[in-house]
Amino acid sequence: MTVGVRLHADLRKARTPVLRYFRFQGDPPPLEAYVVVRTSRGLEVGKVRTPPRKEKEAGEVVRLATKEDLDLASRLRAKAEEAAFYLRARLQEEGVRAKVLGCDFTLDGRHLSVHYAAEERVNLKRFTRELSERFGARVEFLAEGPREEAAYLGTLGACGMESCCSTWLQGFAQVSIRLARDQGLPLNPEKISGPCGRLLCCLVYEHPVYQELLKELPRKNARVCTKEGVCGKV
């Protein structure tokens, strides 16, 4: 069994947290409890947000977090913000066209992840040694796509509401132009694209209903007749 945890290092501007699931031994950790978990990067702090359930595991719960763990995580969060500020300044100095979305450390402070977005291919590895020496950690650069960038920064959708990716989506589904076509929507990219410039995630939501309806409903321009014998064209 696993519990859903929002990692302390989660940088997305989401009201509904993005959860990762961690297995536990013995009694499940209480809801809203802070825990130390082991991920592929190392130890991290997170908050339990779901009761036990069967989900794909991202790692294991090591222990309940202590006050010392939480204090350390808070200091590392401030250090990560310092790293992001420093790198943004260095990129500007060097004229590198990349946007630093945020940074985060593992609980031991030995691993620094840098999340960035760029419209063109850029090489940030030349800053690896500089950051490593300055912040005493192994540095990993993670390129994020347009959808992830919108989720990190928070945006408004065409509906006037906060975009789904920055409020409640747990992941990104594959979206194709066929979804808009099946729903009879205009195929104008400006009408069916989000602030990220990609096809709207919400095209997925009602598509199964349209698929079922299209199995029974006549197509446009088809000739149909009622039981009373009245005929016409759709």
Domain spans, the chain: 2-69, 70-146, 173-234
Residue that is written with structure tokens 């076509």 in the block: 181
The pLDDT-based confidence of 98 (bands split at 50, 70, 90) is very high
pLDDT at residue 16 in the model: 57
Which two structure tokens, joined as six digits, stand for 178?
Answer: 């066929």
Beta strands in the chain (DSSP E): 2-7, 20-23, 34-38, 43-48, 59-64, 99-105, 111-117, 138-143, 223-225, 231-233
pTM greater than 0.85 (yes/no): no
The pLDDT-based confidence of 110 (bands split at 50, 70, 90) is very high
pLDDT digits (tens, 9 = 90+) for 112-131: 999 999 988 898 989 999 99
pLDDT digits (tens, 9 = 90+) for 165-176: 888 887 788 899
In terms of DSSP bridges, do strands 2-7 and 43-48 run parallel, antiparallel, or are they unpaired?
Answer: antiparallel
- Better-scored residue on pLDDT, 75 or 170: 75
Contact, 64 vs 85, CB < 8 A? no
Average pLDDT over residues 49-74: 93
Q: How many angstroms separate the CA atoms of 213 and 31, rounded? A: 41
Note the CATH number of domain 70-146. 3.30.300.20
